[in-house]
Chain A
Amino acid sequence: MSGLSGVAPAPPSDDILYGFVPDPARGRFLDARMHHELAASLSHLAEASAATPDVAAPLADAAQRLAAGQLVGPEAFARYFQIAAQLLADEPSGLPEHLAALTREIATPRGGLTVVPRGGAGELDALMELRMGAEAADFALSSAAKAEALKARLAEAFALMKQALPDLHGELTAITHRVVAAEGRKDSKFQFDGASHYQFWGMLLLNPAFHPTRLALAEVLTHEISHSLLFGLTIDAPLVFNPDDALYPSPLRADDRPMDGIYHAAYVSARMAWAMENLAASPHLTPEERTDALNRAAEDRANFAAGYSVVEAHGDLSDAGAAIMSRAAAWIAAPH
């Protein structure tokens, strides 16, 4: 790694890093490490492109800004993936424009949480097309009015989480800085209700057609931040070594899925159960909400059990994958 990218943040102990219970400090560490990894990667690309100064200079400048502590949004992360993919494939088409955009995006502090509609999400719209390919069509345009309505409901959910689940709220807000409201494809029998993507660190996609209550939003936010948490813990090695073309029954989908997806599904289900049970135990819910939360938790626990049984039977887990899942299973098994 080049000196341009600064010193890697010191990791916490395994019990904190892989711990099941939400931890704001861990969220901040993972965010810092992602930025460090981005800086190191840009620095390596700059070194490898030294013979082409028009390419190397903006990459080196971006790495230096990050090493100096600049925090950036999902636009810069996705742009890096686009540039790296093109350089690896020796595909120069549009590269100067992407480098210019990277310079702008790296120079732009990410600010606080913003809620924007798909179709009005700025650079993220085109980046989703570039990085998600055909899958981007599953996240259809939404309107500013729906995004504003979602923003208002999100404010209620964030307020509830800050009050009742402060550590989860802290972990969530350490990582998430963009929520993009997107709708399902009109011609699809499947409708997404939430999504996240490794290459868009800090971004969540939510479908405003769902999540009518603050409790439902708190649950889907827990789901998505748990995916992001796993992304942040998946830097040097995957969670599972099972080949992606080996498919297994998933507790959460009708179609068979790769083990990586089943691992994610089981883990996020356990975290959703944690959130719903802790909300139910707090004094901040109405009686109706408490009943709803416990019903959701029971479903989440059942989903974890179904997914975990597949992981246990067929999963070829990495060290990190085993460390994370064993702690989730221990929480599920413990009396509460």
Chain B
Amino acid sequence: MTKIDPSKLLGFKLDSAEAEGLKMGKKAGIKLGGKVGAKAGVKSVAAPRS
């Protein structure tokens, strides 16, 4: 069976550079966006975006 090469896989190739010493973490993750989103009754806080 051929070994899977992460450097040939969408998304995983971004992390595979870690093996080359770049020490990257998972890059293919979530990005939260938008404006301030404070729920009712809670003082406005910076929304968790990006």
A48 touches B3 (CB 8 A): yes
Q: Which residue of B lies closest to A307 (CB)?
A: B50
A190 touching B4 in the complex, CB below 8 Å, given contacts A252-B47, A254-B45: no
B17 touches A194 (CB 8 A): no
In-complex Cβ contact of A51 among B1, B14, B46, B49 (8 A) = B1
Q: Does A223 touch B at the CB level, under 8 Å?
A: yes
Interface size for B (C-beta < 8 A) is 38
Measured between alpha carbons, how far is A252 from B50 in the docked complex, in Å? 8
B14 touches A252 (CB 8 A): no
B8 touches A237 (CB 8 A): no
Instruction: Kindly list chain A residues whose C-beta atoms are within 8 Å of the C-beta of B10.
Output: 34, 37-38, 40-41, 80, 235
Q: Which residue of A lies closest to B40 (CB)?
A: A209
A260 touches B27 (CB 8 A): yes
Measured between alpha carbons, how far is A262 from B29 in the docked complex, in Å? 14
Measured between alpha carbons, how far is A34 from B10 in the docked complex, in Å? 8
Q: Does A268 touch B at the CB level, under 8 Å?
A: yes
Instruction: Kindly list chain A residues whose C-beta atoms are within 8 Å of the C-beta of B6.
Output: 88
Measured between alpha carbons, how far is A260 from B25 in the docked complex, in Å? 10
Measured between alpha carbons, how far is A184 from B39 in the docked complex, in Å? 9
Q: Which residue of B lies closest to A36 (CB)?
A: B10
Instruction: Kindly list chain A residues whose C-beta atoms are within 8 Å of the C-beta of B28.
Output: 81, 198-199
Within 8 A of A (CB), among B1-21: 1-6, 8-14, 17
| Contacts from A to B (Cβ < 8 Å) | 1, 34, 37-38, 40-41, 44-45, 47-52, 80-81, 84, 87-88, 132, 135, 184, 189-199, 207, 209-211, 216, 219-220, 223-224, 227, 234-238, 241, 243-245, 250, 252-255, 257-258, 260-262, 264-265, 268
What are 17 sample pairs from A and B whose C-beta atoms fall under 8 A apart?
A41-B10, A44-B4, A48-B5, A189-B45, A195-B31, A196-B30, A197-B29, A198-B28, A207-B37, A210-B35, A223-B33, A227-B50, A234-B14, A235-B10, A237-B14, A253-B48, A264-B31
